[in-house]
Structure 1
C-alpha cells in the first residue's frame, strides 16, 4: 500500500482552511489516503521564534490580501473571525475524539469547524461553540464537550503537536509524503508533481 499524505494544520490557519478544501481531491487523484493531523502552531512558533503571518509587519497586509484573492480563485467564501488569531485547542481535541470513532467523520467535522471559522467568521475558541458546530454537523454535542475536557484527548493533542515539531513541522498547512516535506497551500501542485514523478 502507498503511504498516506500527512496533512498537518491548525484550525486557526486560514491557509489550512483553503488546503482542507483541496487535499482530499488531490489524494483521490493520486491514489493516496490523506491523514489529517491538527496541531497547535503556537508550540511551533515558540520553537522557531515566528508569529502568525497576519500579525507580522508588512507581511500581514499582504497575506490578508492573498488569502482573499486565493479564496476567490478557489470559489470559497472567506472572512477572518473576530479575535483572530485564535487558540484552537478545543477544535483539535474534538477532531481527535471524532477520529477515534471514524476517520472519515473526523474529516467532516474538521471541514465544518474550518467553514464556521473562515467562511462564516465564527470564533471557534470556546468548547461550547465547537460542540454547537459539531452538533449541527451530526455529532453528539455533549460527547464532544466531554472529549474536549478529557485528559487522554488533551495528551493526544499534545503528543501529536510535539511529534510534528520534532519532525520539522513549523507551519500550516504542512504536508509530508514518503518522508518529503511541503509547506503551504501553494505547494500542493509541487506535492502532486513529486508523487507523480517519483521525486526529483
Structure 2
C-alpha cells in the first residue's frame, strides 16, 4: 500500500532546502507519495519576526545551516539574490516581495501538476546552492525541465491564476497549523507532524511502522 504524506516547504527556508533532496530521494525509492505544500516564509506572514527574534537567533542559524550542509555534503551558499527583499542592517521586510511570491506560486503550480517535490528540489538547489542570479536567464527553465515541467506553462498559470494560487498557498498554511505546527520543513503523515530537517529519519521510522516498502 502506498503511503501518503504532505511536505510543507518554503523556498526561503534554508532548512527546507536541506531537507527537500532527501525527501525527494525517499519518494523516488520507497512506496510513499509526498505532496509538496508550499507556504510563504515568516518574512511574508510575520514581517516583524526578525525584529522580535533574540539577537543570537540569526548568528546561530547561520552557523547551524552551514554545519548541516557540510554534515550531509549538500552544496550550500547564500542566495544571490535573496528571495526576500529585506534591509540587512535593520532587518525590516519590504512590503513588495516579487521574488518570493513568484517562486512560491510556481511551486504551487508545479504541485498542482504532481511535480511539486521535484520542482522545489531543483529550484532550491539554484537558490541555496550558490547559483548567481537564480531568478534570471534560463536557470528556472532548466529547473522546470529537470522536473518534467515547462516553465512557460507554469509562468502562464502564475499570471492567470495568481490570486487562486495564493489562496491555495494560504490553505497550505492553515492545513499545517491544523496538523499541529507552523514552521517548515514539516512533513505530515496521517495527521502526525515531523518538523525540521533533523526529523527525516524519525519520519521514515514511522512510515516503516506503517508498512513502508521499497518501490
- Would the TM-score normalized by the shorter structure come out above 0.5? yes
Select the residue among 190, 193, 197 that pairs with 1:181: 193
SS of the residue 2:194 aligns to: strand
How far apart are the structure 2 equivalents of 1:32 and 1:90? 29
Query: For each residue in 1:43-88, what CA deviation from the matched residue of structure 2 results, as whole angstroms up to 9, or x when unmatched?
Result: 8964xx8549xx7521221221111111112221111214646252
Counterpart of 1:69 in structure 2 is 67
Match of 2:141 among 125, 135, 143: 135
Q: Quote the Cα distance in structure 1 between the aligned partners of 2:38 and 2:129.
A: 19
User: Which of 161, 167, 181 in structure 1 is aligned with 2:173?
Assistant: 161
Q: In 1, distance between residues paired with 2:177 and 2:137?
A: 28
What is the deviation of 1:155?
A: 2.4
1:81 is aligned to: 79
Match for residue 119 of structure 2? 109
Provide the residue aligned with 2:38 in structure 1: 38
Instruction: Give the Cα–Cα distance (whole angstroms) in 2 for the partners of residues 28 and 142 of structure 1.
Output: 26
Q: Which residue does the alignment assign to 1:119? A: 129
Task: Point out the structure with the larger helix share.
Answer: 1
- Residue 93 of structure 2 is matched in structure 1 by none
Q: Check 1:30–1:44 CA distance in 2 against 1; reply closer, same or farther (3 A cut).
A: farther
Q: Is the 8 A contact 1:80 1:118 kept in 2?
A: yes
Q: 2:112 aligns with which of 79, 96, 100?
A: 100
Q: Could you list the runs of 5+ residues in structure 1 that have no partner in the other structure?
A: none
Unaligned runs of 5+ in 2: 85-96, 211-215
- TM-score, normalised on structure 1? 0.78
How far apart in 1 are the matches of 2:77 and 2:198? 19
Query: Please, what is the CA RMSD of the aligned residues?
Result: 3.0
TM-score scaled to structure 2, two decimals? 0.73
DSSP-derived class of the 2:3 partner: coil
Q: 1:57 aligns with which of 55, 58, 64?
A: 55
Separation in structure 1 between the aligned mates of residue 44 and residue 192 of structure 2, nearest angstrom: 19
Task: Classify the secondary structure of the residue corresponding to 1:81.
Answer: coil
Question: Per-residue deviation at 1:99?
Answer: 3.0
